[in-house]
């Protein structure tokens, strides 16, 4: 099958391209001019120059496609540079849905995120509205909601590599965030990191799969460690015996972030703190059964790539 990919030059996109090629599909990838070097296995893909602001480029990329996979997402926005959740995570989906309808694409597969909701942070709300757009499109659709994704970054941005660089390696204590005044809850919120290879396998298995259509699938790993345990596991995987950590009041950090989170060098935003404290776990693990995948655990042995960081 010909599978169009919007957002295929990123971390997750490189693994999805691997999984699609292994399944015998041909990736058709929209690539912004100047980003050609970022495309994984470019010689085995069909590329189309353009970006999500150009409906004509989307039409060309989706023409003749059996399915389209939309992967674009950003961790923080910089409106002064034109980088916003609204454009990347909602308007881009709107335009891609319109192109899919016009080109007669049979299946729309969307990368959303675990914990999305109406009226949440701007990240959560834009992703939620994108889901609604896809569901109302009249197309066959599948929506994946992964938790935080880990795995060898291949030179891209990745959850554990970023935490190792910004929180574990610096010679200052790592923050254990807590809400309100109860420091006894510091760092106890849980996350269920999911391996990028498992996410990619789910996307590839969904293509043309009747069991995947008109379904939303959360994607979480099989364990849900606390933030404190995540930091310690990353430190151990990176070669340290441990990491000193101290309670960090979220309200105070948000106050600082209100001034500095527009600066790229500042490591965290107010919305990111809000979402961290909410945790990121799944009650529904049905995707792994539906697609026949045994998910990998978040554990030191699966984080060996951090030794190279």
- Residue 279, pLDDT > 90, answer yes
pLDDT confidence of residue 277: 95
pLDDT confidence of residue 27: 98
Rounded to whole angstroms, the Cα distance separating 117 from 85 reads 14
pLDDT per residue as tens digits for the range 152-207? 999 999 999 999 999 999 999 999 999 998 899 999 999 999 999 999 999 999 99
Region of residue 180 (left: phi > 0; alpha: psi -120 to 50; beta: else): left
The CA-CA-CA angle for residues 108, 113, 119, to 5°, reads: 105
DSSP annotation of 282: -
pLDDT per residue as tens digits for the range 63-95? 999 999 999 999 899 988 899 999 999 999 999
Helices 122-135 + 270-278 axis angle, to 10: 70
DSSP annotation of 48: E
pTM: 0.95
Q: Report residue 125 as tokens.
A: 């709300």
Band of pLDDT at residue 308, cut at 50, 70 and 90:
confident
Full set of structural domains in the chain with CATH: 2-150+193-220+281-295 (3.40.50.720), 159-189+225-278 (no CATH)
pLDDT per residue as tens digits for the range 223-234? 999 999 999 999
- Residue 210, pLDDT > 90, answer yes
pLDDT per residue as tens digits for the range 51-66? 999 999 999 999 999 9
pLDDT per residue as tens digits for the range 17-58? 999 999 999 999 999 999 999 999 999 999 999 999 999 999
Q: Report residue 89 as tokens.
A: 């995570």
- Residue 262, pLDDT > 90, answer no
- Residue 265, pLDDT > 90, answer no
pLDDT confidence of residue 291: 98
- Burial class from Cβ neighbours inside 10 Å (0-12, 13-18, 19+) for residue 174 reads buried
Backbone phi, psi, residue 218, to 5°: -65, 150
């Amino acid at each position: 099958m010909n599978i169009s990919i919007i957002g295929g030059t990123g971390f997750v996109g490189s693994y999805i391209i691997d999984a699609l090629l292994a399944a015998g599909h041909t990736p058709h990838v929209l690539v912004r001019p100047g980003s050609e070097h970022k495309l994984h296995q470019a010689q085995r893909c069909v590329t189309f120059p353009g970006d999500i602001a150009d409906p004509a480029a989307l039409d060309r990329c989706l023409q003749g496609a059996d399915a389209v996979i939309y992967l674009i997402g950003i961790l923080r926005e910089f409106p002064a540079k034109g980088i916003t959740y609204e454009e990347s995570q909602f308007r881009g989906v709107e335009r891609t849905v319109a192109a899919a309808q016009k080109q007669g694409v049979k299946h729309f597969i969307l990368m959303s995120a675990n914990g999305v909701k109406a009226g949440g942070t701007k990240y959560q709300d834009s992703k939620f509205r994108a889901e609604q757009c896809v569901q109302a499109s009249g197309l066959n659709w599948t929506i994946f909601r992964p938790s935080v994704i880990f795995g060898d970054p291949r030179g891209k941005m990745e959850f554990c590599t970023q935490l190792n660089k910004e929180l574990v390696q610096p010679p200052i204590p790592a923050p254990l965030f807590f809400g309100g005044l109860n420091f006894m809850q510091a760092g106890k919120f849980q996350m269920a990191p999911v391996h990028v290879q498992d996410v990619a396998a789910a996307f590839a298995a969904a293509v043309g799969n009747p069991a995947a259509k008109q379904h939303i699938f959360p994607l979480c790993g099989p364990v849900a460690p606390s933030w404190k345990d995540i930091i310690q596991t990353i430190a151990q995987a990176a070669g340290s015996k441990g990491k000193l950590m101290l309670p960090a009041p979220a309200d105070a950090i948000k106050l600082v972030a209100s001034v500095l989170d527009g600066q790229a060098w500042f490591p965290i935003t107010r919305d990111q703190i809000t979402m961290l404290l909410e945790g990121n776990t799944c009650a529904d693990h049905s995707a792994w059964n539906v697609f026949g995948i045994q998910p990998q655990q978040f554990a030191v042995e699966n984080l060996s790539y951090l030794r190279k960081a």
